[in-house]
Amino acid sequence: MFKKILFFIIFCCITLSVFSSEWRELSSEHFIIYYKENENFAKEVSYKAEKYYNSIASDIGYSRYSNFWTWDKRVKIYIYPTKKDYLKETNQPDWSEGMADYKNKQILSYALSEGFLDSILPHEMAHLIFRDFVGFKSEIPLWLDEGVAQWAENLKRANIKKLAKELYQKEFLLSLKDIMTLDIRSLKDKNKVFIRPTKTKSGEDGVLFIGTEQLITNYYIQSASIVGFLIEKYGSYSFSNFCRELRDGKSVEEAIRIAYPHIVNLEELETLWRRYLERE
């Protein structure tokens, strides 16, 4: 009798272990949430994802195009039970709270990840939506891709505006021409000091002596601020036209001239953006 009871207990444990290792699904209009435990968190992820989808798509004009991210094209979000499971399966560094796989249209994190719902989720979704819109064939500058993703984090917008204005007031802004060619992914030496071009508030040319960390910070702030300026000042319709021209192979300057006829080049865009910072 004891052996039968023991066998039954072992069988139940094995069955529960196998069941808990399988992914469960929670589907919505644009997403499929895969989770193993913590259904409540999965439901919150699903709710927030749909909310962000609508706001991001509206901002960049993506919502005007139908049949994206529906049915079999839905984005998959994987929620691992613990951070340990997430790190083991994705090989991400210890500080990682979530990631996106752009090739397979997947977002990965773990249950109760700090900052995932309010920061990482909208950020990575914006990357996916933007790239779905403009494609991967065109040469999209990194600042624009990152700017769209940073602007998608609604809770950061007020702070982005504040910090961009402070950089302007202190005459510590990088030039837009410099941002166009700067690849922050190549900045490895934290102790390096860079000499970068800038403009004063009076419009004169100048230079900045700036460390690596501050250079990266400025880059992200300014990228998000410029995207926010284009969307808030001229609307999502013009921004979507801008993105469409980029998708069709136009350079950034060409796309700007077509979508914003009053902005003749990047220098004029920077001038208008700086005026916007001064008045905000």
* pLDDT confidence of residue 67: 62
Distance CA 209, CA 35 (A): 48
Return the number of other C-beta atoms located less than 10 Å from residue 234's C-beta: 17
pLDDT at 266: 94
Q: What is the CATH number of domain 21-134?
A: 3.40.30.160
Q: Where in the chain is CATH 3.40.30.160?
A: 21-134
For strand 75-80 and strand 106-110, is the pairing parallel, antiparallel, or unpaired?
parallel
The identity of residue 276, as a single letter, is Y
Contact, 23 vs 85, CB < 8 A?
no
DSSP labels, 64-87: GS-STT-GGGPEEEEEESSHHHHH
* CA 100 from centroid of its chain's CA atoms: 10
Given this model, what pLDDT does residue 70 score? 82
What are the pLDDT tens digits along the chain (280 aa)?
555 444 444 444 443 344 457 999 999 999 999 999 989 999 999 999 999 999 998 888 876 655 678 878 899 999 999 999 999 999 999 989 999 888 899 999 999 998 899 999 999 999 999 988 888 777 889 999 999 999 999 999 999 999 999 999 999 999 999 999 998 888 888 889 999 999 888 888 899 999 999 999 999 999 999 999 999 999 999 999 999 999 999 999 999 999 999 999 999 999 999 999 998 7
DSSP helix/strand/coil, 215: helix
CA 84 to chain centre: 24
The 10s digit of each residue's pLDDT in 39-59 is 999 999 999 999 999 999 888
Task: Give the predicted TM-score (pTM) of the model.
Answer: 0.85
Alpha carbon 124 to chain centroid, angstroms: 4
